[in-house]
Amino acid sequence: MLSQGFVSAASIAASVLFILSLGGLSNQEKAKRAVWYGIVGMAVAVLFTALGPGIGGYWWMLPMMIVGAAIGVYVAKKVDMTEMPQLVAALHSFVGLAAVFVGWNADLERRRVLATQLAESSTEGFSAFAALVATKNPAELMFLQIEVVLGVFIGAVTFTGSVIAFGKLAGKVDGKPKQLPGGHLLNAGAAALSLLLAILYLSGAGFWTLLLMSLLAFFIGYHLIMGIGGADMPVVVSMLNSYSGWAAAAIGFTLSNDLLIVTGALVGSSGAILSYIMCKAMNRNFVNVILGGFGGSQGPAAEIEGEQVAIDAGGVASALNDADSVIIVPGYGMAVAQAQNAVSELTRKLRSAGKNVRFGIHPVAGRLPGHMNVLLAEARVPYDIVLEMDEINDDFATTDVVIVIGSNDIVNPAAQEDPNSPIAGMPVLKVWEAKQVFVCKRGQGTGYSGIENPLFFKENTRMFYGDARKSIDDLLPLVE
């Protein structure tokens, strides 16, 4: 067993590694090294926490750690990049549920300490946490109860909210917004009742108040996320990421674990910043999103005129061979089809022919920020031709050919032209301004969010139907 000083030093080292990891993830070239910083930091955190003072029960802790690690390795190898958003949501649910369990246990231990001290004035046989509780004065015990309330409430909301987000992203739950009769009033009533139960709990009421508050928080998490549509799910995932961090930080205060406090604060603050960035990228009001779209657009969407005109590989290749400038806009469909390597080869051929080829990346392309950048980096697409929306949006008007691969909402002109559209006001890539637009798409469906796209009906747009990977593979031999 290590001394507390040694554990504190390890905690500082792990915290620095986590900060370096977060900082490095903002750059594609440093991202791989940044991930290793995070891996090493977490290994240090787990190891030195397990070996710290007052920790026991290794006979069951070690097998559980091995089982958990084995499950993690299995999931990491099995999950595709396209499934990463729902995996992130699932992992958030684990953090939330852990916060609930730790909070419950902390309160039960607090009650046991108080009962034992009153009866025997002894702390013999107490756990490390219980012994810590026994040293606290009444004011400190009140702060402990506040920490428990916050950790349990945020954790419970995070758990059920993340489970529903996972279901929607994985297609196991309908992506359309749904609420029970009463809608937002149910959420407000549950929140008000939770506050009342929290006050009763802090006033000395029994464990039942904490349990009932947890059940209400579980409902709030479920009902909030059920009321959010598929178009807003990227913001929801980052929001839940933030919630899980704050839940962890609250439990860190409960356990007097400095590393958990720092790590939770890092996750919570970075998730909140990311949520703000994504709301800005989608022109969404953050409060409206988390309230299930409260105050969203009203009225019927504008009718779309015209028809979708199909084109074959030969027609697309002919246009590419005649073009001087090409912009490729990748989306979730490219990820699903695992077409990034074929797209990379197409890019190489076009650039070898002297054409100006670039990529336009929307901040929420692929349902999570950075998803497309990672796929393109894996396929060895040069970093300098992968541009963000703000960097490339003004260039579409002077571009000969745009190839949209598996995108819908991020290239939807209804966001700017139809005030009644569910994505009204959302900044999008203005691909329709190019001379020719080719949309690589499986079929005529509306995509994940269920929103129709007028782009597909425009005169300068042709639909290149089929699996994205096969379509690009068919295109490659025809490109000179």
Torsion angles phi and psi, residue 448, rounded to 5? -60, -45
C-alpha dihedral (387, 389, 390, 391), degrees to nearest 10: 20
The pair of three-digit structure tokens given for residue 446, joined into one six-digit string: 């509306």
Report which secondary-structure segment, H or E, holds 464: strand 461-465
* Distance in angstroms (rounded) separating the CA atoms of residues 224 and 292: 6
* Distance in angstroms (rounded) separating the CA atoms of residues 330 and 149: 44
The neighbour count for residue 401, using CB atoms within 10 Å, is 23
Angle, CA of 450, 456 and 457, to the nearest 5°? 115
| CA atoms within 13 A of residue 62's CA, in its CB half-sphere | 5
* Distance in angstroms (rounded) separating the CA atoms of residues 223 and 411: 30
The pair of three-digit structure tokens given for residue 201, joined into one six-digit string: 């709990």
Report which secondary-structure segment, H or E, holds 112: helix 84-120
Report which secondary-structure segment, H or E, holds 163: helix 138-169
The pair of three-digit structure tokens given for residue 218, joined into one six-digit string: 């579980």
User: Locate tokens 């297609």: which residue?
Assistant: 171
* Distance in angstroms (rounded) separating the CA atoms of residues 311 and 295: 41
Is 409 among the catalytic positions?
yes
* Distance in angstroms (rounded) separating the CA atoms of residues 203 and 315: 74
* Distance in angstroms (rounded) separating the CA atoms of residues 440 and 448: 15
3-class DSSP assignment, residue 402? strand
* Distance in angstroms (rounded) separating the CA atoms of residues 429 and 388: 10
3-class DSSP assignment, residue 468? helix
Angle, CA of 158, 164 and 165, to the nearest 5°? 80
The pair of three-digit structure tokens given for residue 21, joined into one six-digit string: 């990891």
Crossing angle of helices 28-50/4-24, nearest 10°?
160
3-class DSSP assignment, residue 74? helix
Q: How far is CA 471 from CA 245, 317, 336, 360, in A?
A: 42, 11, 14, 20
Choose, from 409, 418, 467, 474, the residue flagged as catalytic.
Answer: 409
The pair of three-digit structure tokens given for residue 75, joined into one six-digit string: 């999931």
What letter would DSSP give residue 310? Answer: B
Residues recognised as catalytic? 409
